[in-house]
Amino acid sequence: MQLSNPPGRPTLADTLRQRRQRLAERVQFPVALWSGRSASRNFPANVHPFRASSHFLYFAGLPIANAAVRLEAGRLELFMDAATAADRLWHGEATGRDQVAAAIGAAAAYPLSHLADRLDGAATIPVMETATRQQQAAWLKRELPAAKALQAIDQQLASAIVELRLIHDELAIAEMRRAAAVTVKAHRAGMQATLGTTTEAEIRAAMEAVITAHNMSTAYSSIVTVQGEVLHNNAYDHAIQPGDLLLADVGAETESGWASDVTRSWPATGRFSPTQRDIYDLVLAAHDACIQAAQPGIEYRDLHLTAAQVLAAGLVDLDILRGTVEQLVEQDAHALFFPHGIGHLLGLDVHDMEDLGDLAGYAAGRSRSERFGLGYLRLDRPLQAGMVVTIEPGFYQVPALLHDPERRRQYQDQVNWERLAQFADLRGIRIEDDVLITPTGAEILTQDLPTAADQIEALVSGD
């Protein structure tokens, strides 16, 4: 566990003090947040990797298992047990409670069980992991429904936390820059490993090796696939054939939980076919147009519609779609090929704060659209300086959409199916970067990873 502060960065204790001060300005009741613990596999000591709850991490800063913090009026109390003799035997000497307390600026520190008597009138956010959620409910002496249906006091807390976590402070941005830098290296390694490899698994291994070597983990299950049309494809067993396109959506997460989320698509041979390149350049045009337009005050939904318009216009130029751009987007014809949203919030989690449903993603009074082309939009707010969002347009040929008889009927006049058949050598392309909204525009945190087709080809082929 990293307790020292790298030079030139705000200290952890100072940052945490500011975060809880800002929370105290928003809620007048005590707050208890649990970190959670590892779930066991087949015997208690064989556990899945531990990942602390992000709400805990935001205020406690360090990934401590089976711990909690109590926050009230800007004061932090830490609750965690000292290591037992058995813990020390099997896991070695752990950082002690007092050391952790000093690093995070706790006013007091106690064994975990002491928290049970300090919960009168306290709000919490339920953790995802079941055993800890049961402890939360038992000690708070009330039901804890899933975080999407919170009780009133917890709902107020969640809204306050969303306000804080939407706008990242200096330490958070520094951490996301670290995650982004390692992710960029991982993608370069994946591209450079491609010519010598025959399976998706080998490319995944080359990418995750970089992340592991930096003592980071993946922020989500990596997608490394020749079947890019399967949006969340977590199989890695396909052989790579000449002519395939690889789609790799891989992101590192720092030790303290800050995420990155990057996708690149590249040709297995190091050369795009003409049809692959046409569509790649079109997806890149949508990506660039969105980032160009991103700045405070701009509606994220409008960025999504910008991507839809660029894609629709390009598909008309390629004679795949027919009609006016305005009508095609209104009819959601673009969504046949771009069925997801343009991106999401990024922070301590990929899809940051989606454990709270749409509370973070959707501004008050807004809710998901029923439209095919808008329903998967995960963020519908005006952008503000300090937000980090992904921009990730794509083009996919999803059989479940394109072979659906009803959709084919619906879009029979808008899609030139014969022309589309000439693009059969590409299944899925996505280009995804992490973008910090600045006071005057946007900064791409992952800009050191090229996007231009020529540069991608050069990285893969080693030219």
350 binds ligand GLY (CB under 6 A): yes
Residue 147 has φ and ψ, to the nearest 5°, of -60, -15
CB 274 within 8 A of CB 243: no
User: CA-CA distance, 266 to 280, in Å (whole number)?
Assistant: 9
Q: What is the per-residue burial (b if ≥16 Cβ within 10 Å, else e) of 157-194?
A: bbbbbbebbbebbebbbbbbbbbbbbbbbbbbbbbebb
Quick one: 200 or 249, whose CB is closer to Mn ion?
249
CA gap 60, 41 in Å, rounded: 27
How many CB atoms lie under 10 A from the CB of residue 364? 7
Look up residue 113 and give its two tokens.
Answer: 């069980």
CB of 219 to ligand GLY, least distance (A): 8
Of the two residues 129 and 434, which places its CB atom closer to ligand GLY in the complex?
Answer: 434
Q: Closest approach of Cβ 183 to ligand GLY, in Å? A: 11
CA distance 218 to 231: 18
CB of 342 to ligand GLY, least distance (A): 11
Whichever of 67 and 350 has its CB closer to ligand GLY, that residue is 350
CA–CA gap between residue 314 and residue 52 (Å, rounded): 44
Identify which of residues 154 and 253 has a Cβ nearer to ligand GLY in the complex: 253
Using the minimum distance from each CB to Mn ion, give the nearer residue, 154 or 433: 433
Backbone angles phi, psi at 343, to 5 degrees: 155, -155
Binding status of residue 220 toward ligand GLY by CB under 6 A: yes
Convert residues 217-256 into a mask of x (bound to Mn ion by CB under 5 A) and - (unbound). --------------------------------x-------
**Residue 129 binding partner per list Mn ion, ligand GLY, none, with a CB distance cut-off of 5 to 8 Å that depends on partner kind:** none
Q: What's the min distance (Å) between Cβ of 281 and Mn ion?
A: 21
Q: Per rule CB under 5 A, is residue 446 in the interface with Mn ion?
A: no
Size of the site for ligand GLY (CB under 6 A): 7
185 Cβ partners below 8 Å, 6+ apart?
Answer: 210, 214
Binding to Mn ion in span 413-432, by CB under 5 A: 432
Give the footprint of ligand GLY on residues 422-441 (CB under 6 A): 432
Q: Is 261 in the site for ligand GLY (CB under 6 A)?
A: yes
Residues 6+ apart with CB under 8 A from 140: 32, 119, 122, 124
Q: Which of 77, 244, 392, 457 binds ligand GLY (CB under 6 A)?
A: 392
Amino acid at 41: R
Which residue lies nearer to ligand GLY by CB, 60 or 389? 389
Return the number of the residue (63 or 251) whose C-beta is nearest Mn ion.
251
Distance CA 407, CA 405 (A): 6
29 binds, among ligand GLY, Mn ion, none (CB under 5 to 8 A by kind): none
Residues in the chain: 463
> Is there binding between residue 376 and ligand GLY (CB under 6 A)?
no
For residues 367 to 396, the per-residue mask of contacts with Mn ion, x marking binding by CB under 5 A and - elsewhere, is -----------------------x------
Tell which one of 129, 253, 261, 349 touches Mn ion (CB under 5 A): 261
Q: Which residue in the set 129, 249, 380, 457 belongs to the binding site for ligand GLY (CB under 6 A)?
A: 249
Report the nearest approach of Mn ion to the CB of residue 249 (Å).
4
Q: How far is the CB of 8 from Mn ion (least distance, A)?
A: 29
Q: Angle 179-263-426 (CA atoms, 0-180°, nearest 5)? A: 170
Residue 222's binding partner among Mn ion, ligand GLY, none (Cβ under 5 to 8 angstroms by kind) is none
β-pairing, 252-253 vs 217-218, is: antiparallel
Determine if residue 296 is left, alpha or beta; phi over 0 gives left, psi from -120 to 50 gives alpha, anything else beta.
Answer: beta
- Output the smallest distance, CB 392 to ligand GLY, in A: 6
Which H or E element spans position 101? helix 97-104
Q: Please give the residue ranges that form the binding site for Mn ion (CB under 5 A).
A: 249, 261, 263, 390, 432
Q: Please give the residue ranges that form the binding site for ligand GLY (CB under 6 A).
A: 220, 249, 261, 344, 350, 392, 432
